[in-house]
Structure 1
Amino acid sequence: MSGRRSFYSLVLAEVCSLSGTRLSMIAIPWLVLTITGDPVLTGVVAFAEMAPYVIAKALGGPLLDRLGARRVSIVGDFASVTVVAAIPVLDHFELLVVPLLIALMAILGALRGPADAAKQAMIPSVAREGKLPLERVTGVMGTIERLASTIGAAAAGALVAIIGPAQALAFNGICLAVAAIVLLAGTRSTTITEAGVPQSYGRQFAEGFDFLRKDAVLVGIAVMVALTNFIDQAFGVVLVPVWAADSGRGAAAIGLVLAVFSGFSILGSAVATAFAEKLPRLAVYIGAFVLVGLPRFVVFAFDAPLAAILAVLAVGGFASGFLNPIISAVILERIPEKLVGRVSSLVTASAWALMPFGGIVGGVLIAGIGLEATLLILGGVYLAITLAPLGLKRFRGFARRPEVA
């Protein structure tokens, strides 16, 4: 089996998996809003999925190194299909209530965390098999993530409008099943067997944690991305759906604005991939965050014309395309191969750690001070977080390409 075949299979699996996930990110909040009309409860349901997702991703790292990332991804995707398929079935028989939906989302989050982390952990071995530069592979994966976001967002807006949010989730299940089948057929196991006495799960987890906490660059990335992800989660799962409902634009508008953002991020990610090895990492990192942050909060806060909103999202989306290829390359370059699963899982889980609270905080702020004020406050905080790394010494190593032992 050629190395390039493994690379193409991983890319296709990522497209399918992320397309389904992005679809559910629109369908689930809209489902809760149509059932309850409550933005706080919408945030609670998002929390129910994201909290187990982050915890499972953090704790699942040693399993990736022990069982193999490929196996974890395939099993997680297949199991997720069953959970996702239950939602439209229950809705069809009028058995879907919010407490049951919360339980299903918690199970789904626990399955998706390790499965998503596993696909990222496969990148170094796939790059090595195909004799491809790491930054080129992370760039392609970043582009694929944006492409999947665009497909998922556009499909979700249309499907939710046509067949309803619960029924639209059936397509999420199909996407996850295809992702698992593609990895099963097109890739091979790359589990690394460590010499000596096998380590316990606890020891493997501790080893990964110790490595992470001693690397200031990795810690800095995790903290900054955790804070911006927290705000992005509030924006995506509560603020934009409430804006769409209050303005009367409906679920189709949610799909449109997210698709425009993701669509232009594909272009940005493609450019980043082409020039990844020549880009000044820190300058691009900060500059992209500035463009992707405050402007979009401002245009939504003042309910600008849809054309203006889409223009701002186009610029921000293009800038955001430069982030993941650079961040992923920096993370994976700094981790020894035998620790990739456990350390990369901890980094990404840390970066997602605050996301479960984003929807709840967004909903509470809207209920307390209104949508406009919430958007402006969160936009200002986003800008402050974006500029903070300029004063942190730990980010001086961000631009370097260190040797990995």
Structure 2
Amino acid sequence: MNRIVVFFLGADFASLLGNSVIAVALPWLVFQRTGDAAATGTVAAVTAIPALLAAFFGGLLIDKFGRRRMSIVADLGSALSVAALPAVDAVFGLDLGLFILLGVLGALFDVPGLTARDALLPDIASAGRIDLDRLAGIRESLFAVSFLAGPALAGLALTLFPIEAVIWSAAVMPALAALFTSLLPAEVGRVRRLSANEANGAADPAERGTRGLLVGFRIIIRSSLLSALTILSIGSVLVMGPLQALVLPVYFAEAGAPDLLGYTVSAMALGMLGGSVAYAVLAARISRRAVFLTALACCSFGLAIVAFLPPFLLLALGLLLVGIGSGLLGPLVPVLFAERVPEASRGRVMGVQNAATLAVMPLGVMAAGLLIEGASLRVATAVIAGSWLLVGVYAILARGMRDLDTVKDEPVLVGDEGEGMLVGQKDEPRLVDDKDEPRLVDDATGGGR
């Protein structure tokens, strides 16, 4: 595998693993220092708004200063914010106010780092001479591994080492990610300024200051495919967020079997790993529409099982199917975004998408909580499953989702206030892998070129 690809995947995995470790270690540290179980929820709630703003404004900075550069800056900032926890604790002693302050600082870096790596994906595929679908599938597989192994490693470390040592290890991970990204060639992810001919006389959108923030919204709204993908992503978060954060913990707590919660979440993570590996291996050889429909079917059947809150083995099977569907959808969405979004606006578009999913996550959890309190756990679970079915039907019928294998002639206005350039390509063939050698296939004829 090309070293560019190895460095990128290494950076992404290190960052994801660090996030998984700190997600377990931080609540532990907050409770140890404050003695207040609700303090962890307070820290998470207060840092949600800065994370949302960082996702939104971070996209503009990514398009202005470059994807590789902003990825390095964000990872270094994340490392410093995590390292500040034990450092400040040793000097001043941590209290709730300091936890909130450092949590806000960390939130300002984490999401822009993720967005920068999302925007880097097509650059790495091009520079590393690897099929974009395969790269996205491998990346999603590493996410599933971190989702599965990270909390387990953090839990084991907390039993063997002081909490401060675990926090320091979590700070090393984003620093390592920044190191790996810095080893990428400087030209990878560099902002390419549009010439006068390319922009048709319009200024480069990346140079338009804060007004350029609206470009991301306009590109998504004016593309039927990108709009459908964004709604699908939002729907997925509205379903999976409450399921993992509230429904399953409450169900197993009421059943008096909290240990089974970890097994069911692991079943979903294993499904994600299997789905993403399958995507990496098969996506370049089969229709993306087939992948998309298979993913929707797995998620829908899995959630239909979960909706009945059956005994453990059936519930684990349902979550395994949900994981497989998520593993197939996970890499497909960024690939489609990468192919349809103009390079000069990639950071802002992906920043808008990340901001949207961040914004709806707490709303979904809150709505599920109200349903549980006002009706019952089973009603809340049935509503969650039914909501996903509605999202799935919309995604199947959406005009932009009917042909996913060619870049259709769907021009997107990227300028400000009605002025700018139109970006669109008609029937652009995608790279298809054949016996480990990339080749271009014209989807209209099936012939190689």
- TM category, shorter: 0.7 to 0.9
Is residue 257 of structure 1 aligned with residue 256 of structure 2? no
Q: Distance in 2 between matches of 1:241 and 1:24?
A: 20
Note the C-alpha offset of 1:402: 3.7
Match of 1:274 among 281, 285, 289: 281
Match of 1:217 among 221, 225, 230: 225
The answer as to whether partners of 1:142 and 1:325 remain within 8 angstroms in 2 is: yes
Aligned to 1:337: 343
Is residue 302 of structure 1 aligned with residue 300 of structure 2? no
Match of 1:289 among 288, 296, 304: 296
1:10-51 Cα distance to aligned partner (Å, 9 max, x none): 10111111122233444556777895555xx76654443443
Note the C-alpha offset of 1:364: 4.3
Aligned to 1:107: 105
Q: Distance in 2 between matches of 1:237 and 1:10?
A: 30
- Count of paired positions: 399
Q: Distance in 1 between matches of 2:88 and 2:174?
A: 19
Aligned to 2:240: 232
Note the C-alpha offset of 1:156: 3.6
Q: Distance in 2 between matches of 1:107 and 1:228?
A: 27
AA aligned to 1:211 is I
Aligned residue runs from structure 1 range 118-157, under 5 A: 118-157=116-155
Q: Distance in 2 between matches of 1:257 and 1:143?
A: 18
Aligned residue runs from structure 1 range 4-403, under 5 A: 4-27=2-25, 36=36, 45-87=43-85, 95-98=93-96, 100-159=98-157, 168-189=166-187, 190-194=189-193, 195=195, 199-243=207-251, 245-247=253-255, 249-250=257-258, 254-292=261-299, 295=302, 299=306, 302=309, 304-305=311-312, 307-402=313-408
AA aligned to 1:304 is P
Q: TM-score, normalised on structure 2? A: 0.76
The answer as to whether partners of 1:238 and 1:362 remain within 8 angstroms in 2 is: yes
In structure 2, the CA distance between the partners of 1:162 and 1:317, relative to structure 1 (3 Å rule), is: farther
In structure 2, the CA distance between the partners of 1:124 and 1:290, relative to structure 1 (3 Å rule), is: same
In structure 2, the CA distance between the partners of 1:277 and 1:318, relative to structure 1 (3 Å rule), is: same
| Larger-Rg structure | 2
RMSD: 3.4
Note the C-alpha offset of 1:286: 4.0
Q: Distance in 2 between matches of 1:246 and 1:162?
A: 30
Note the C-alpha offset of 1:113: 1.3
The answer as to whether partners of 2:67 and 2:191 remain within 8 angstroms in 1 is: no
In structure 2, the CA distance between the partners of 1:69 and 1:248, relative to structure 1 (3 Å rule), is: farther
1:370-401 Cα distance to aligned partner (Å, 9 max, x none): 54443333222223222222333343244544
Q: Distance in 1 between matches of 2:329 and 2:146?
A: 16
Q: Distance in 2 between matches of 1:36 and 1:214?
A: 47
Note the C-alpha offset of 1:186: 4.0
1:178-215 Cα distance to aligned partner (Å, 9 max, x none): 11121123443431231366623224333333322211
Q: Distance in 1 between matches of 2:162 and 2:389?
A: 36
Note the C-alpha offset of 1:95: 4.9
The answer as to whether partners of 1:7 and 1:130 remain within 8 angstroms in 2 is: yes
Note the C-alpha offset of 1:218: 0.2
1:111-168 Cα distance to aligned partner (Å, 9 max, x none): 1111110011111111111222222222222222222222223324434566698875
Q: Secondary structure of 1:192's partner?
A: coil
In structure 2, the CA distance between the partners of 1:163 and 1:61, relative to structure 1 (3 Å rule), is: same
Q: Distance in 2 between matches of 1:235 and 1:391?
A: 26
AA aligned to 1:216 is S
Q: Secondary structure of 1:66's partner?
A: helix
- Residue ranges of structure 2 left out of the alignment (5+ in a row): 197-202, 410-423, 426-449
Note the C-alpha offset of 1:354: 0.9
Q: Secondary structure of 1:122's partner?
A: helix
- Residue ranges of structure 1 left out of the alignment (5+ in a row): none
Q: Secondary structure of 1:177's partner?
A: helix
In structure 2, the CA distance between the partners of 1:211 and 1:275, relative to structure 1 (3 Å rule), is: same
Note the C-alpha offset of 1:9: 0.4
Q: Secondary structure of 2:183's partner?
A: helix
In structure 2, the CA distance between the partners of 1:259 and 1:17, relative to structure 1 (3 Å rule), is: farther
Note the C-alpha offset of 1:267: 2.0
Q: Distance in 2 between matches of 1:68 and 1:312?
A: 42
Q: Distance in 1 between matches of 2:253 and 2:89?
A: 22
